[in-house]
Structure 1
Amino acid sequence: MVSSKVKAIMLCLSLGLLIDVSQSHAETFQTSAPVVLVEDVSVGRILMQKNADRPIAPASMTKIMTAYVIFDLLDQGKMRLDQLITVNPSVWKRWHGKQGGATMFLRVGETVSVENLLNGMLTVSGNDATYALASSIPGGLDAFIALMNKEARSIGLTDSYFSSPNGWSNNDTTRTTARDLVLLASTTIKRFPQFYVKFYHRKEFLWGKSPTGELIRQHNKNPLFGRIDHADGLKTGFTTKAGYCFTGSATKNNHRIIMVIAGLPSARVRADEAIRLMQTALDTVP
């Protein structure tokens, strides 16, 4: 005879929702987000999952993979933080102005260091910075996208495919899952801790010039910053196809929580859910 407890677990699994937390936190771990994965990666404990293996369009969360490739090139000595890259006209034409989405406010012909382009990509989600980086390697953009998919396979992202470095291009077919994104974030932090601290912790970035000649100040859209103690990454995203999504991380007592939420209807709902779920997860840490 199947016990009532086993039946309940089977029902949760059939609904794509598994919660592994104490009864006191079970209610607060409920969410309207279509896709969720919350994991204490320090001990391999999944705290909540909901459709964690459903294919999703990651939007600008794609830039976590782009950053991973750049970090690997830096680690191999094939790229340097002080290396200068000139913004070519095609990158500027496609990614400046309103049609370019989030921007670092690069100018055509401007020469910018890899370090500042990484800040522009990861702090303010600049699509112009992302394409300037991806187009700069030998073989250009196609070679970079091939590297993204090669590294994804090496990491073990079995359900991911990348067709652009930003998840926002025309006819973009990039896809991934919440489970793959947690693995990607965790691997980034473990393999490149120095780059993670340097580039994912920044709360704001100044670049470009306003009409009055002042540097343009932009703030990181990470909804955990300023709301969750020891939050330190990673990346928000939005497209009409993807909805509002977020991969985030925070630590407590040597435990690291990584979460992915996707498919939310607004930036406000994304922020509220991210803060609530991360705080609930941190409250489970002894």
Structure 2
Amino acid sequence: MYGLHQLEDPLELKSGAALVMDQETNEVLVTKNSQAVLPIASITKLMTALLVIEAQQPLTEMLTITEEDIDTEKGSRSRLQVGAQLSRGDMLHLALMASENRAANALGRHYPGGFYAFVAAMNAKARSLGMLDTRYVEPTGLSSLNQSSAHDLALLVKAAYDVPLIRTLSTSPEGLVAVGPRQMQFHTTNRLVLNPEWDIGLQKTGYIVEAGQCLVMQAKLAGRKLIMVLLDSAGKYSRLGDAERIRRWLVQSTLNGATTAASSRFDLR
């Protein structure tokens, strides 16, 4: 819709917007429409987790899924039924690893001051991080009004990476969660977590129709700690394909001794 996919790039990325930067030096290695403001889907949940943890609310406190947590925006399904009780820690785990929408919404509702105070805090935190093109209206990402840019999301990933619990929960491949008398197993939404060729320190996926396939990661590639943002990717597996294209390019550039050469980077506006 924004014409982002009409722009060709050397890596033939399927994502409409992308940014890859060195986490330690802030050197930008890949930028493609990185200032475009787009819906970000469940990448939203990184900010949700960051605020919940910064509020220092007890992770052992039990929270209850209510009718308020049912998705009326997209009609998405959930394995967490109304009345289900989970600890705040388990809600965080499911929101980050399995992108559980009801868990994320419940976390927002139980924030000091309630849901609307939480949304206000999300936007205030974004401003404090320098995410000036970012806007949140709810904590799950189901609303297409949750919008940001690849540039802004790189700032969010950098801040979230400083929180050990977010790193641990977001990169967990699977988890067993007690829901009443039942043990329910959930799995990661990012298959790259299971790939031995990847050393991922933090990740979050996202998808709604308006946002396309989205992916943010912190990963160690070619000996460098990198932040990777891929937005508006067309096709179910294209965000993973783009990540692999970037990984192979970086590895090859390292072998060629060109990772710091200007000719190895590209900048597409």
Same fold (TM over 0.5): yes
1:38 to 20, 38, 44: 20
> Are the aligned partners of 2:52 and 2:111 in contact in 1 as well (CA < 8 Å)?
no
Structure 1 equivalent of residue 156 of structure 2: 184
Show structure 1 runs of 5+ residues with no match: 1-14, 19-26
User: Is residue 215 of structure 2 the alignment partner of residue 246 of structure 1?
Assistant: yes
Could you tell me the TM-score, scaled by structure 1's length?
0.78
> Are the aligned partners of 1:223 and 1:274 in contact in 2 as well (CA < 8 Å)?
no
Structure 1 equivalent of residue 141 of structure 2: 167
> Are the aligned partners of 1:87 and 1:109 in contact in 2 as well (CA < 8 Å)?
yes
Cα distance in 2 for partners of 1:38, 1:17 equals 17
Cα distance in 2 for partners of 1:182, 1:278 equals 17
Deviations 1:148-171 (A, max 9, x none): 0011111111110101111214xx
> Are the aligned partners of 2:14 and 2:234 in contact in 1 as well (CA < 8 Å)?
no
- Structure 1 pair 217/284, CA: closer, same or farther in 2 (3 Å)? farther
Deviations 1:209-259 (A, max 9, x none): 7xxx97443321224212333113211111111111111121157631111
> Are the aligned partners of 2:50 and 2:166 in contact in 1 as well (CA < 8 Å)?
no
Structure 1 equivalent of residue 80 of structure 2: 106
> Are the aligned partners of 1:106 and 1:128 in contact in 2 as well (CA < 8 Å)?
yes
- Structure 1 pair 277/143, CA: closer, same or farther in 2 (3 Å)? same
User: Is residue 176 of structure 2 the alignment partner of residue 206 of structure 1?
Assistant: yes
- Structure 1 pair 88/201, CA: closer, same or farther in 2 (3 Å)? same
1:115 to 79, 89, 110: 89
Q: What is the Cα-based RMSD across aligned positions, in Å?
A: 2.5
* 1:1-286 pair list within 5 angstroms: 27=10, 29-74=11-56, 79-91=57-69, 94-95=70-71, 99-101=75-77, 103=78, 105-169=79-143, 172-190=144-162, 192=163, 194-207=164-177, 215-227=183-195, 228-252=197-221, 255-281=224-250, 284=253
* Greater C-alpha radius of gyration: 1
> Are the aligned partners of 1:37 and 1:261 in contact in 2 as well (CA < 8 Å)?
yes
> Are the aligned partners of 2:221 and 2:247 in contact in 1 as well (CA < 8 Å)?
no
1:177 Cα deviation after fit: 0.1
> Are the aligned partners of 2:46 and 2:204 in contact in 1 as well (CA < 8 Å)?
yes
Could you tell me the TM-score, scaled by structure 2's length?
0.83
Higher relative contact order (CA 8 A, sep 6+): 2
Q: Which amino acid aligns with 2:48?
A: T
Deviations 1:80-112 (A, max 9, x none): 111221222322xx249x9234x3x22322321
Cα distance in 2 for partners of 1:183, 1:233 equals 13
Deviations 1:170-193 (A, max 9, x none): xx4111000000110011112x2x
Cα distance in 2 for partners of 1:202, 1:39 equals 24
- Structure 1 pair 86/262, CA: closer, same or farther in 2 (3 Å)? same
Q: Which amino acid aligns with 1:230?
A: D
Cα distance in 1 for partners of 2:191, 2:133 equals 27
1:17 Cα deviation after fit: 8.5
> Are the aligned partners of 1:257 and 1:282 in contact in 2 as well (CA < 8 Å)?
no
Cα distance in 1 for partners of 2:244, 2:103 equals 28
Q: Figure out how many residues of one structure are paired with residues of the other and give that number.
A: 247
Cα distance in 1 for partners of 2:128, 2:102 equals 27
